[in-house]
Amino acid sequence: MDTITDLPVIDAIDTHADPRQADPPQARFAALLDRHRGIVLKVAHGYCRDTEDRRDLLQDISVQAWRAFPAFDPSRSRFSTWLYRIALNVAISQVRRSQLRRQHHASLDDEAMASLPDPAAHGPDGADAGIRALHAVIDRLDPLNRALMLLYLDERSHREIAEILGISEGNVATKLHRLRQRIREELDPPATPRTP
């Protein structure tokens, strides 16, 4: 499994250095990022199935968070909310770049790709079929809806989701209702009547 400590930005900060010599903002950032690494990992896993792509995304999120850290104001938002916003923005940007690249390059056959085993899957065959099916549906969502669903699955409140995504709480509720309905329909399509 990928870990946030594998990232170069953390190595550059050197969390094992003598605390009397460590630069306070660097040490504070490293500690906060380590404490909230689950957010970055969830976003990376939500947007990338390939291990190398996921590592690239983890690195990009960490670098962007480090660059933006001087502007972080704890009186305006919690670090977790701030980090979620950065992680999702970086992930959505990466998805858009990837889509542009795919438009200019020949893509592999979707059915052939779907038949490949999911390296992120855990457990015996069939044990996680429902989870893999849910991930497949989420993977097909546009970047904003994917972010919305990942935040919902992470049990974030409508208020926090609204703050992270920059939309109203009412919009969050409406979009989530529609997304849950859409996902239910895709996971359990209505049976079509048989014709004799």
Residue-wise pLDDT tens digits, 28-62: 999 999 999 999 999 998 888 888 889 999 999 99
Q: Which two three-digit tokens encode residue 80? A: 């977790």
Map out the domains of the chain as residue ranges: 1-112, 123-188
> What CATH number is given for 1-112 in this structure?
1.10.1740.10
Calculate the CA 181 to chain-centre distance: 21
Alpha helices (H) in the chain, listed in sequence order: 8-13, 24-35, 37-47, 51-68, 79-104, 110-115, 129-139, 143-153, 158-165, 169-187
- The torsion defined by the Cα of 56, 57, 61 and 64, in degrees rounded to 10, comes to 60
Band of the pLDDT at 194, cuts 50, 70, 90? low
Q: What is the DSSP letter of 166?
A: T
Answer CATH for 123-188 from 1.10.10, 3.30.70, 1.10.20, 1.10.287: 1.10.10
Q: Rounded to whole angstroms, how far apart are CA atoms 69 and 66?
A: 5
Ranges 6-15, 54-63, 71-80, 157-166: which has the least confidence: 6-15
Nearest alpha-carbon partner for 187 in 146, 142, 147, 140:
140
Nearest alpha-carbon partner for 82 in 63, 58, 65:
65
Q: Is the pLDDT of residue 127 over 60?
A: no
pTM for the structure as a whole: 0.57
Report percent pLDDT > 70 for the chain. Answer: 69
Mean confidence (pLDDT) of the chain:
77
Q: Rounded to whole angstroms, how far apart are CA atoms 170 and 189?
A: 28
- Please report the DSSP string for 129-146 in residue order: HHHHHHHHHHHTS-HHHH
Give me the amino acid identity at 31. A
Nearest alpha-carbon partner for 134 in 83, 185, 58:
185
Over residues 3-26, the mean pLDDT reads 50
Q: Is the pLDDT of residue 110 over 90?
A: no
What pLDDT score does 64 carry? 94
Q: Is the pLDDT of residue 141 over 80?
A: yes
